[in-house]
C-alpha cells in the first residue's frame, strides 16, 4: 500500500470494516419464512422415517451449524430456532425410549447437545471406626 495516499487508505480500511460488520446476507428475511423451511424439513423426516438432526436441519436450510446458532442469537429468530432444536431433542428422546437406533449414540447426543448428565447417588450406611476417628480428629484440629 506504499503508493496510496492517506484518503485512499482510509477508504480501503473503511470498506474492510464495513464488510466485516455486514457479512453474508441473511438466508431468511424473517422468522415466518424460516419456520416454513423448518416445517418442510420435519415433514420430510417424518414421511421418510428419518431421525431429525441439527446437521440435517442445517443442510435442509442451506446453512451450517454455526449459522443456525447465529440466527438463534438474533432476536427475531430466537424462538424459531430454539423450538426447532427442542423438536430435534424430543425426536432423539422418543427414539431412545422406543428402542429405535443406536442407544449409546443417542445417549451421547443427549449428553453433548441437550445437557443431560449421569447422576450418581452415593449412600453411606454406617461408619467404621477408622472413619469415625478421622472425623473426630478433623473436628479437634
The span from the CA of 47 to the CA of 62, in Å, is 20
**pLDDT tens per residue, range 79-135:** 999 999 999 999 998 988 888 888 888 888 888 888 888 877 666 666 566 666 677
Give pLDDT, residue 2. Answer: 58
Give pLDDT, residue 24. Answer: 67
Among 30, 40, 91, which residue's Cα sits nearest to residue 61? 40
* pTM (2 d.p.): 0.64
The span from the CA of 23 to the CA of 17, in Å, is 10
Among 71, 87, 88, 89, which residue's Cα sits nearest to residue 33? 71
* pLDDT of 10 strictly over 80: no
| Interacting residues of 89 by C-beta distance below 8 A, sequence separation 6+ | 110, 113, 114
**pLDDT tens per residue, range 47-66:** 999 999 999 999 999 999 89
The secondary structure of 12-40, three-state, reads: HHHHHHHHHHHCCCCCCCCHHHHHHHHHH
- Structural domains in the chain? 6-113 (1.10.132)
Residue 74: which H helix or E strand, with range?
none
Amino acid at each position: 500500500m506504499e503508493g496510496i495516499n492517506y484518503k485512499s487508505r482510509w477508504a480501503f480500511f473503511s470498506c474492510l470494516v464495513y464488510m466485516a460488520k455486514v457479512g453474508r446476507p441473511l438466508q431468511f428475511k424473517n422468522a415466518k419464512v424460516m419456520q416454513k423451511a423448518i416445517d418442510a424439513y420435519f415433514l420430510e423426516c417424518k414421511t421418510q422415517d428419518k431421525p431429525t438432526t441439527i446437521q440435517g436441519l442445517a443442510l435442509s436450510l442451506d446453512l451450517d451449524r454455526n449459522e443456525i446458532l447465529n440466527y438463534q442469537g438474533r432476536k427475531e429468530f430466537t424462538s424459531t430456532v430454539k423450538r426447532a432444536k427442542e423438536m430435534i431433542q424430543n425426536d432423539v428422546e422418543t427414539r431412545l425410549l422406543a428402542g429405535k437406533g443406536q442407544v449409546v449414540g443417542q445417549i451421547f447426543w443427549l449428553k453433548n447437545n441437550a445437557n443431560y448428565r449421569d447422576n450418581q447417588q452415593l449412600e453411606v450406611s454406617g461408619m467404621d471406626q477408622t472413619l469415625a476417628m478421622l472425623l473426630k480428629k478433623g473436628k479437634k484440629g
